[in-house]
Structure 1
Amino acid sequence: MRIKKSISKNSISYSIIENVRDINGKSTTRVIEALGNEQEIREKQPGVDSEEWARQYAMKLTEEQKRQRELSIIKLNAEKLIDADKQRSFNVGYLFLQSLYYQLGLSKMTQDIQSKYKF
């Protein structure tokens, strides 16, 4: 994460942004947090340079994000037996398409075509 410094005629605004990739794979930026203008930051953090405070805050958020993304190891016991009468996984991916199939009336349409043309 990094800071974005927007300079206008009357003030300087700070935001924390992050580089991300969109669905098509293109690189773009996303605003994580708008910190406010220079005067607001000075009021919240008196005696501290607003740009330096924004950089430190961005570094802190980056470290928190890295900690959340840490690799976690899941330990499995290969010797433990799975009960034969318990189902552990369910395939329900077709339910969404099935509801669309009946809502659009495709079932009736296919039955009409089959009866008309005698496949």
Structure 2
Amino acid sequence: MSDSTTDAEPAFEIAARPQRRYTRGAGVEYVGGTVFSLVPDPPSADEELVALAERVLDGDAYDYGDWLDLPMALYSVHDRGTGDVFRVSVRDGAVELHVLPETDPAGLRALYRRLCDSSDREWHVERRTDDE
């Protein structure tokens, strides 16, 4: 399922939460869930979006880490104000907000606002849900 909005203030309604699955070999896996893709207009290169995301995350509002050696930017983010924890990735010209089981919309909205305030672009928000 996919939804798209260009509202000035998207609701960030979480349609499906991921379920944690614990396996012996792989550790924790997440099955299903919701991802919000924040797509800038005009488009930006991934490198520019990584720099923007890191500028916002470096502020006082967040604790974050990028401890995995991946070919793309992937951060685990804790919003100090809302207490929300979620993942942020950058790929294919979008900043993606990955909902975790305890994530609430307030933390997602706060990051969206900060990205908007820190850039001179319009942002389109697309929501994808996965039931399996």
What's the TM-score bracket when you normalise by the shorter of the two chains? Answer: under 0.3
Name the structure where helix makes up a greater proportion of residues. 1
Name the structure where strand makes up a greater proportion of residues. 2
| Max Rg structure | 1
User: What is the TM-score of this pair, normalised by structure 1?
Assistant: 0.22
